[in-house]
Amino acid sequence: MKYTNLGKSNLQVSQVCLGTMHFGSRTSEEDSFKIMDKALEMGINFFDTANVYGGSGGRGRSEEIIGKWMKERGTRDDIVLATKVFGPMGEENNPNYSAGISTYKVRKHVNESLQRLQTDRIDLYQIHHIDRNITPEEFWGTFERIMNDGKVLYMGGSNFPGWGLATHQLQAMQRGSMGFISEQTMYNLVCRYPELEVLPAAKALGIGVIPYMPLAGGLLTGKKKSVEGSRTNQVENEYGIHLGDANQQMADFSALCAELGEKEHVVAIAWTLAHPAVDSPIVGVRTVDHLDGLDRAAELELDDETLQKLDEIFDPNKGRPLRVGQAPEAYAW
């Protein structure tokens, strides 16, 4: 496994990050433990979760499973632990705990995450979505306070537009703060919107990009068809891209991967890592088998000719247009 500094920080993370969104919903506690055991054995030291992960009615369950695993295995200091704050945690009827950021809300949610994770600190605390209403004084004052208390070591964004990263980073600099060291955005061969503004802004500002869905929910794994109700089937409908014999783009992609002698998911992840703004793609894993090849993806360096061929197959200027809307809603939820 290869490692890199996350953004402008001196924090070393594996060049593949373990995504745990499915823990507690699609993946049992027992299987989640097996996945984390194997990931750590492979050299993956970067684990990503969120306070809202755990499925309908089970928000917080992913954090609970990770916390129990760290406690039982004694692995807390072996991993860089990332979680998020923004969404409500079953408190929708209280306006102070609805979606968004406030000192009032973060005070409660950070302590609840620490309790579920059974730890004294969050290594990377990420804002799950931009809040356009909060003032910079309240935003950075809130997070500086919990960082000074030792509850959080580093801050990151998620689903921020380029202008949002620039604005928040400038505010942090004016306060003498490091600001964000990472940005989590959806980015893969069939979702290249972040190339418009997010990736260039992040690179210029010293913010390491940790893309989620680098495999497009399974579309880029060589599958010929999806199972009804599966995550891949959901993403087919979200992206408007359907697998099958009629999909020449995916056929061409698989043919190129065969020429390279590499699996499709390995090439797809390696492609995201080829972008100079990207530090560590997040791979959401449901089974231990889904870890196969992730170490190879971190090692594989695609040459210029291969990158050009992938650009031709996945030309961002062909096919369906950008969704109408402002950033980040044009390319995120």
Catalytic residue set: 53
Among candidate residues 71, 4, 13, the one with its CA nearest the CA of residue 45: 13
> What tokens appear for 320 in the block?
């369906």
d(C-alpha 222, C-alpha 321), whole Å: 24
Rounded Cα distance between 5 and 15, Å, is 9
* Lookup: tokens for 41: 């054995």
Number of neighbours of residue 298 by Cβ within 10 angstroms: 23
**Angle separating helix axes 162-174 and 136-148, nearest 10 degrees:** 70
Whole-angstrom Cα distance, residue 126 to residue 331? Answer: 19
Q: Say if residues 172 and 178 touch (Cβ distance below 8 Å).
A: yes
Could you tell me which of 22, 44, 7, 57 has the C-alpha nearest to residue 292?
44
Asked if 259 and 310 count as a contact pair (C-beta separation under 8 A), the reply is no
Q: Which of 27, 40, 111 is nearest to 72 (CA)?
A: 40
Distance CA 147, CA 333 (A): 28
Nearest of 320, 69, 64, 309 to residue 192 by alpha carbon: 320
Beta carbons of 194 and 319 less than 8 angstroms apart: no
Furthest-apart CA pair in the chain: how many Å? 56
What would the two tokens of residue 254 be? 């698989």
**Which helix (H) or strand (E) covers residue 155, if one does?**
strand 152-158
Distance CA 117, CA 76 (A): 10
